[in-house]
Amino acid sequence: MANATTLAAGGKLWKSVKDLAAKRAVLLVLLLLVLATGIAQKNFLSWDNLINILMITSVYVIIALGEGPILITKGVDLSAGRLVGLTACIAASMLQRTDYASKIFPDFPMMPLIVPIALAIVAGVAVGLLNGAIISWLKVPPFIATLGTMVIAYGAVSLYVDRPPHGASPIGGLRDDFTSVANGAIPISGTFRLPYIIIIAVVVLFLMWILLNRTRLGKNIYAIGANPEAAVVSGVSVSRTLITVYVIAGALYGLAGSLQAARQGSATNNLGFGWELDAISACVIGGVSTTGGVGTVGGILTGVLMLTFMNNALVFLNVSPYWQNIVKGLIIVAAVAVDIRKYLRKR
């Protein structure tokens, strides 16, 4: 009897461990990746490198937080990367130094820092509103609608930066107060400094957590993703909710574009190319279901950290960029396969 009880207890413990491993698989893989690379390359776990990774993560997580709720509603936004590039160029073009020789707008007056950033966010909101309207009112599938606006956004930003006689050259000579938004930091203690860009990302994470978990809009987002027909019967305005989700995403892309331009000190029409795929990958890896209705802010953050740490680790280990793409692709396929298996088990 004692042996049977012990075996039963052991079985329950093993099941609990398996369930925990399944639920936290991505987090466990992330920890193993960090530890393994830290052992192989000691500088990988240096404070400077960790801060650098978190600064890179800050921009990507803001983009992923725009993409995540769209995926939860069974949609997709392929225009995210191009919108980041468009809004980065808008903010950068209005925040060039007055003494810079190749200004886009030579006679543009000096304006408060917040104004060009706000205009970049408004531009993101406008395209997000267009995406939402096309999807909700014209009933165009999200993949096609956002593919169209992706191409439109790239054409628009290319025209915006194409200025004679310089052509579509990078927008440089950015003001110091603008670049310090992303590269500046608050001194905490001794040499420890907390970059502003990380603080901004944490604030956005917190606000999006509140939106998805503590508001009616958040409940409607999950309801639409889980069962659109049932959501309509329950009184949810699907069209209004979808438009709002795409508008919020556009605002986040505008913020991310401004921060990225400030972080690298310049902007081009090719900035953000392919970033929507990274955002979608991070969301899927972080547990946002491709079948809709499932996803968390914490999971999205974990997915972004996973991809960023993986990219940085592979660079530290001198892995060829071609192999890096293969590894990233395998991880994405594995994450989607696990997600689909979970969905099929529930049916």
Residue 174 carries which DSSP code? B
Return the minimum-mean-pLDDT range out of 41-50, 143-152, 269-278. Answer: 41-50
Tokens of 305: 């950290």
pLDDT tens string 59-114? 999 999 999 999 999 999 999 999 999 999 999 999 999 888 888 888 888 889 99
CA dist 313 and 319 (Å) reads 9
| Average pLDDT of the residues in 303-317 | 87
Better-scored residue on pLDDT, 254 or 41: 254
Contact residues for 272 (Cβ-Cβ < 8 A; gap 6+) = 80, 81, 82, 83, 84, 85, 88, 257, 260
Residue 150 is assigned to a structural domain of this protein: yes
Are 250 and 131 a contacting pair, CB within 8 Å? yes
What's the domain count of the chain? 1
Residue 331 is assigned to a structural domain of this protein: no
Domain that holds residue 69: 56-272
Residue 64 is assigned to a structural domain of this protein: yes
Work out the mean pLDDT of the chain and round it to a whole number. Answer: 87
Residue 258 is assigned to a structural domain of this protein: yes
Residue 215 is assigned to a structural domain of this protein: yes
Residue 4 is assigned to a structural domain of this protein: no
| pTM, full prediction | 0.90
pLDDT of residue 323: 86
Residue 208 is assigned to a structural domain of this protein: yes
Residue 78 is assigned to a structural domain of this protein: yes
If pLDDT is split at 50, 70 and 90, which confidence band does 34 have? Answer: confident
CA dist 31 and 21 (Å) reads 13
